[in-house]
A = this chain, B = another copy of it.
Amino acid sequence: MSNKQTVSRYGVWEISINVKTEEIAKNPFDTRFKGVFKKDNRTQTAHGFYDGAGVFKLRFMPDAEGEWIYRTYSEIPSLDGLSGSFICSAPKPGNHGVARVSGKHFVYDDGAPLYPMGTTCYAWIHQPETLRRQTIESLKNSAFKKIRMCVFPKHYDFNKNEPELFAFEGNLADGFDYSKPNPVFYSHLETCIAQLHEIGIEADLILFHAYDHWGFSQMDRECNHRYLKYLTARLSCFPNIWWSLANEYDLLRHLTEQDWESFAKIIQEGDYAGHLMSIHNCFGFYNHSKPWITHCSIQRQDVYKTTEYTNEWIDEYQKPATLDEIGYEGDIHWGWGNLTAEELMRRSWEAFVRGGYPGHGETYLSSDDVLWWSKGGVLKGDSPARYEFLMKICEEAGGIDYLPERSPWDIAVGGIEGKVYIAYLGFSRPRNRSFHSDHPYLGRSNLPEGKYKVEIIDTWNMTITDCGIMAREDLHVELPARQYMAVRLTVI
């Protein structure tokens, strides 16, 4: 065998072809160009894209080791009929492939678990480089496994700075040509996504949102579709992409269900890797029963009761849930952005014991208008350290489910039946609590017979206190009469 091209599993195979100007159609972004990739009996189709300056590219992320062969198809002769093969080798360390749904939880392609507790920096890619580097550094030092971020920049409170690059040709002063994606911007976006992948963070990429003054939220159907095809062609090769059709889809009032369904279809057709896909609400949910929606991406539905509904949502849709907007730690004027770290963590723990994956955000007023939730930068709050602690508890347990049969009326208990039970006490702050079956009401949480390792988890002070081994009949803990405690009962 010759010295064949090698690509690591979940890595990117790419070819780049210069096309003469006269061959290119009026709008090169409308060029039909695709590659069909084959290994054994499996075939996958990736779409190529115009990268500007006469260059077309075709990318592919192989998901199986061994030899792949390919052939291209295009209306442009010099893009058509290219063929060859490459070897897919073992993945690079830390590359677990694409995140998938597994029951009501998530798992990577290679079977590694993924607990996608995330954070939000909507417009971090639209900030200057120094700030972006800071953001990546902050994320690297955090426990977050997912970030919500927008393709388009954001025009909103504390977000009035103009980005350097836009997703389309043009500028605010002269206007944009929404039919012409800007390859330089996409190359920048890809660098950002790759940086996130390197530090193990999923890019929950928001494709549309309403906080706009550039017109990106008001494009016509043709431009929207071209945009999505282009995006999918370029980005499907990134293992850590999640497609979030929208942030607050229902604020884009001119878009109909038909529009959103067509968007989902375009992405599904373009994305051979089948990345996770969802759509996030402001008011009511989009119908999360739709088969293309892989998981619930949720903004809380009520100012006061938020993640306490997590288990109901998971039950209703029979899909895992990321709680992508449950209020942020901060002190701005908006009610969603001035929670204490204690309240954000209370909501996050409620989400966790109810089987969901909570999402962080931070909105502290800053004289430089750099608020983490939108621009990234430095994390200033008290919740990130508590998320790290929560992640540790989650990793020790594995993804847990809400256990209604183990939950008394006043405490949510999550766990894995027969293995571990985590009772979260939230704002309750008793001096003691029993988990045995003697009490007629506590007995509702009747646990399986056996012996348990009993621990008190102080979710705020981030301590775990060993209370020893107890039989089911003796389960009783003395507590410090402070809020934000949990009791972990591990079957031994």
Closest to A433 in B: B333
Closest residue of chain B to A431, judged by CB?
B331
Stretch at the interface among A41-49, A146-154, A231-239, A297-305: A297-305
Q: Report the separation of the CA atoms of residues A408 and B335 in the bound assembly, to the nearest whole angstrom.
A: 10
Complex CA–CA separation, A427 to B338 (angstroms): 8
Given contacts A303-B410, A409-B303, contact A333 B432 (CB under 8 A): yes
Residue in B340, B343, B411, B483 whose CB lies within 8 Å of A335: B411
CB neighbours (8 Å) of A338 from chain B are 428-431, 481
| Residue in contact with A334 in the complex, picked from B302, B303, B410, CB distance below 8 Å | B410
CB distance from A125 to the nearest CB of B (A): 27
In angstroms, Cα B410 to Cα A339, docked, is 12
A336 within 8 A of B: yes
CA distance A333 to B343 in the complex (A): 21
Chain A, range 267-323, C-beta contacts under 8 Å to B: 302-305, 308
User: Could you tell me if B430 and A332 are in contact, using CB atoms closer than 8 angstroms?
Assistant: yes
Query: Is A365's beta carbon under 8 Å from chain B?
Result: yes
Complex CA–CA separation, A178 to B308 (angstroms): 46
Q: Is A434 on the interface with B (CB-CB < 8 A)?
A: yes
Q: Which residues of B contact A429 (CB under 8 A)?
A: 331, 338-340
Give the distance in Å from the alpha carbon of A339 to the alpha carbon of B425 in the complex.
11
* Contact present for B483 and A333 (CB under 8 Å): no
Assess whether A431 is in contact with B339, with CB atoms less than 8 Å apart. no
Q: Which residues of chain B have C-beta atoms less than 8 A from A428's C-beta?
A: 335, 338-339
**Number of chain A residues close to chain B: CB under 8 A:** 31
Closest residue to A334 on the B side, CB-wise? B410
Contacts of A411 in B (CB 8 A): 335
Residues of B within 8 A of A305 (CB): 302, 304-305
CB-defined contacts of A304 to chain B, threshold 8 Å: 304-305, 308
Interface membership of chain A positions 408-429, coded 1 if the CB is closer than 8 angstroms to chain B and 0 otherwise? 1111000000000000000111
Judge whether A331 and B430 touch: CB under 8 Å. Answer: yes
Q: How far is the CA of A12 from the CA of B409 in the complex (A)?
A: 46
In the docked arrangement, what's the CA distance between A339 and B428, Å?
Answer: 6
Q: Which of chain B's residues have a CB closer than 8 A to the CB of A343? A: 427
Q: How far is the CA of A308 from the CA of B305 in the complex (A)?
A: 10
Specify which of B308, B335, B365 is in contact with A431 (CB 8 Å cutoff): B365
**How far, in angstroms, from A254 to B187 measured CA to CA in the complex?**
73
A303 to B426, CA, bound (A): 11
Report the nearest B residue to A157, measured CB to CB: B439
Checking B332, B335, B339 against A409 with a beta-carbon cut-off of 8 angstroms, the contacting residue is B335
Bound: A332/B442 CA distance, A: 13
Do A483 and B410 contact each other (CB < 8 Å), given the known contacts A305-B304, A331-B429?
Answer: no
- Knowing A305-B302, A365-B431 touch, does A483 contact B331 (C-beta < 8 A)? no
Closest 4 pairs between A and B when the two form their complex, measured CB to CB:
A335-B410, A305-B305, A331-B481, A338-B430
- Taking A331-B430, A338-B428 as known contacts, 11 extra A-B pairs with beta carbons closer than 8 A to each other, sorted by chain A number, are A304-B304, A304-B305, A304-B308, A331-B429, A335-B410, A335-B428, A336-B410, A338-B429, A338-B431, A339-B429, A340-B427
14 A-B pairs with C-beta separation under 8 A: A303-B409, A303-B410, A304-B304, A331-B481, A334-B430, A335-B408, A335-B410, A335-B411, A335-B428, A336-B410, A339-B427, A339-B429, A340-B427, A340-B429
